[in-house]
Structures are given as C-alpha cells and as structure tokens.
C-alpha cells in the first residue's frame, strides 16, 4: 500500500513547484542526491526506472527515504 495518496502527492507538487527527476544505478550516489534535494526543499522526487535492476535500486531508495525523511503526523 502506498504511503501517500494521489491527492497528497499532487498537493506537494503544487506547493513545491518542481519535481527533481534522476536515475543512477549507484545506490550511495542516489542517496546523496535524495539528501541534497531534500536539503534544498524538495519533498517529492521522481526516480526514473532505466537500466537493468533499476527496480531494485528504487526499492532500496524508497526504504531509505521513508526511514530518513518521512515522519508520520
């Protein structure tokens, strides 16, 4: 089940005004990109699924982002 509803995602897109888009097969580099974007104010990121095993990187990044940056209200 998704952590955020579609309406919540759209609201964050409207509030932020941008959605950073990126892809890397390097998990640690991707974590640094997420942190830099978060520190810069982004609260919504799009990770493009390119390349072999991109879905595995995405899964790990999702777990990382939830554990590091999501605090339930």
Please write the tens of the pLDDT for every residue from 44-59. Answer: 888 787 778 888 988 9
How many domains in the chain?
A: 1
Asked, for residue 59, whether it belongs to a domain, the answer is yes
Banded pLDDT at 73 (limits 50, 70, 90): low
Banded pLDDT at 1 (limits 50, 70, 90): low
pTM for this prediction: 0.74
Asked, for residue 51, whether it belongs to a domain, the answer is yes
Q: Would you give the DSSP letter of residue 25?
A: S
**Residue 30 contacts residue 3 (beta carbons within 8 Å):** no
Asked, for residue 1, whether it belongs to a domain, the answer is no
Banded pLDDT at 29 (limits 50, 70, 90): very high
d(CA 67, CA 7): 22
Asked, for residue 49, whether it belongs to a domain, the answer is yes
| Average pLDDT for the chain | 85
């Amino acid at each position: 089940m998704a952590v955020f509803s579609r309406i919540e995602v759209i609201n964050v897109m409207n509030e932020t005004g941008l959605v950073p888009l990126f892809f890397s097969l390097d998990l640690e580099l991707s974590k640094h990109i997420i942190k830099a974007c978060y520190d810069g104010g982004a609260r919504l990121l799009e990770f493009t699924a390119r390349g072999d095993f991109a879905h595995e990187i995405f899964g790990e990044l999702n777990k990382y982002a939830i554990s590091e940056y999501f605090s339930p209200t």
